[in-house]
Amino acid sequence: MTRPTIAVHKFSSCDGCQLAFLNAGEDLLELAGLVDIRHFLEAGVADEDAGVDIAFVEGSISTAEEVERIRRVRANSGMVVTLGACATAGGLQALRNLDGRNDAWKQAVYAQPEFIGTLEHAEPVAAHIDVDFALWGCPVNGRQVLAAVRQLLFGVTPLDPRDKLCHECKRQHAVCVMVADGRPCMGPVTRTGCGALCPRFGRDCYACFGPAENANTAAMGARLDGLGLPPADIARRFLFINSHAPGFLEAGRKHYRSDFGDD
């Protein structure tokens, strides 16, 4: 029996999501026996253009070279799975897309901005190619990644939990930090996946897993307002790690004035 082939590709990112594999401990060795890893630079395997069954892609697309490379990944891969917030929704670096700040920053930062080969926007992978499955989170949850790999090995689509974090928060018996402590928790609009880490640690969720299905961002914004957050702060609650995820972008823009100034 031939083992399925996989590749892990890196684009603009912090490397944290790839660690879901490298941090897997014994599971990493087990995985290496179940699949044939053809390309994974950080693990020492380099064959960028290898044809594979499943390609995992970390990072957002933010240079012309990356646009070209992600197209090659698509062409060489049976399935493309995005790994984490950057690949799935643009990630933190997509903050530069807001209000054309990219150009302003380029001017401010680089002596010769015309040579900086970055695109105006840092974009999710799906803005450039078809994506078969998306794993959210900044970083992804390692257990979720391996579970997805397992389902793919079974020949079945992985589960895609899109429920609000509150469901999981309650299953974990965390005390609600919004109700019991007045914190601006984003759990009610954020998808599950992390295991409700922040509320379990007594703090508010900052939405690193992106928007949940049917997220009522208007009601959420109103609640944050009720907790005393100024509009710019409400905007920043939405415009953080998943600023370009549908739902969050519009919600953030509604409260967003300019340049996040305090008002």
Partner 1 sequence: MTERKVSIHVPALTRVEGEGSLRLRIEHGEIEELALTIFEPPRYFEKFLEGRRHHEVIDTVARICGICPIAYQMSAAQALENAFGMTPSDWVRDMRRVFYCGEWLQSHALHVHLLAAPDFLGFDSVVGMAEKYPDEVRRGLRLQGLGNRLIGLLGARSVHPVGARVGGFHRAPSLAEVDAMLDKLRGALPDAESLIAWAASLPMPDDPQDFVSVALRHPTDYPMTEGRIVADNGLDIDVADYESRFVEEHRAQSTALFSLLDGQPYLVGPLPRLNLNLDRLPASSRALLDATGVRFPSDNMFHSLLARTIEIHVALVEAIRLLEDYRVPDSPYAEPTVMAGSGCGATEAPRGLLWHRYVVDAAGIVRGARIVPPTSQNQARIEVDLRRSLLAFGLDHADDALRLRAETVIRNYDPCISCATHFLRLDVERR
Partner 2 sequence: MNPYLPRQAEVVSRTVESGDTFSLGLRLTDGEPYDFAPGQFNMLYLHGCGEVPISVVADDPDSDILTHTVRAVGRITRGLEQLQVGDRIGLRGPYGRGWPMTQAEGRDVVVVTGGLGCAPSVSIIHHILGHRGGYGHLSILQGVKHTDDLIWRAQYDAWAQLPDVDVLLAADVAEPGWHGHVGLVTALFDQLRLEPARTIAMLCGPEVMMRAAADGLHAIGLAEDRIYLSMERNMQCAVGHCGHCQLGGSFVCKDGPVFAWPEIRPLLGTRGY
Partner 3 sequence: MNSSSFLPRDALQSLIDVLQDRGYRTIGPRAQDGAIQYLDIDDVAQLPAGTGDHQSPGRYRLHDGTSPRLFAWANGPQALKPWLFHARETLWCSTRGADGRLSFAAAPVDERPLAVIGARACDLAACHLQDRHFVDGMTDPAYAARRRGLFTVAVHCTQPAETCFCASTGDGPRAGEGFDLALSELDDGFVVVAGSAVGQTVADALPTRTASREQLAQADAEIAGAAARQTRHLPSRDLRAALFARLEHARWDDVAGRCLACGNCTSVCPTCFCHAEQDVPSLDGTSSEHVREWDSCFSEGHGYLHGFQIRPEIRHRFRQWMTHKLGSWHEQYGRSGCVGCGRCITWCPVGIDITVEAQAICGDADGGNA
Binding mask 23-42 for partner 1 (x = CB under 8 A): x-xx-xx--x----x---xx
Are 93 and 60 contacting, i.e. CB atoms less than 8 angstroms apart?
Answer: yes
Sign of CA dihedral 124, 61, 64, 6: negative
Answer for which of 199, 211, 221, 247 binds ligand SF4 (CB under 6 A) is 199
Which of the stretches 22-30, 49-57, 74-82, 214-222 binds partner 1 when contact is defined by CB under 8 A?
Answer: 22-30
Answer for which of 13, 88, 190, 217 binds partner 1 (CB under 8 A) is 13
Q: How many CA atoms are closer than 13 Å to the CA of 232, on its beta-carbon side?
A: 7
253 interacts with partner 1 by CB under 8 A: no
Residue whose token pair is 């208007």: 218
Beta bridge partners of 40: 8, 45
Residues near 7 by Cβ (< 8 Å), separated by ≥ 6? 37, 38, 39, 40, 47, 50, 52, 54, 55, 56, 73, 76, 77
Answer for which of 4, 22, 170, 176 binds partner 1 (CB under 8 A) is 22
Which among 247, 248, 239, 251 is positioned nearest to 101, based on CA atoms?
A: 239
179 interacts with partner 3 by CB under 8 A: yes
Query: DSSP secondary structure string, 132-153?
Result: SEEE--SSPPHHHHHHHHHHHH
Nearest approach in angstroms of CB 177 to ligand SF4 is 4
113 interacts with partner 3 by CB under 8 A: no
Q: Which of 23, 172 has the CB closer to partner 3?
A: 172
Strands, sheet with 36-40, edge to edge from the N-terminal-most edge strand:
36-40, 5-10, 52-58, 77-83, 133-135
Answer for which of 200, 223, 253, 254 binds partner 1 (CB under 8 A) is 200
Nearest approach in angstroms of CB 48 to partner 1 is 7
Beta bridge partners of 82: 57, 134
Answer for which of 85, 205, 234, 239 binds ligand SF4 (CB under 6 A) is 205
185 interacts with ligand SF4 by CB under 6 A: yes
- Which residues would be at the binding site for partner 3 (CB under 8 A)? 27, 30-31, 34, 146-147, 149-150, 153-154, 159, 162-164, 166-167, 170-176, 178-182, 185, 187-189, 202, 213-214, 216, 218-220, 222-223
* Sites of contact with ligand SF4 (CB under 6 A): 165-166, 169-170, 174, 176-178, 185, 187-188, 190, 194, 196-199, 205-209
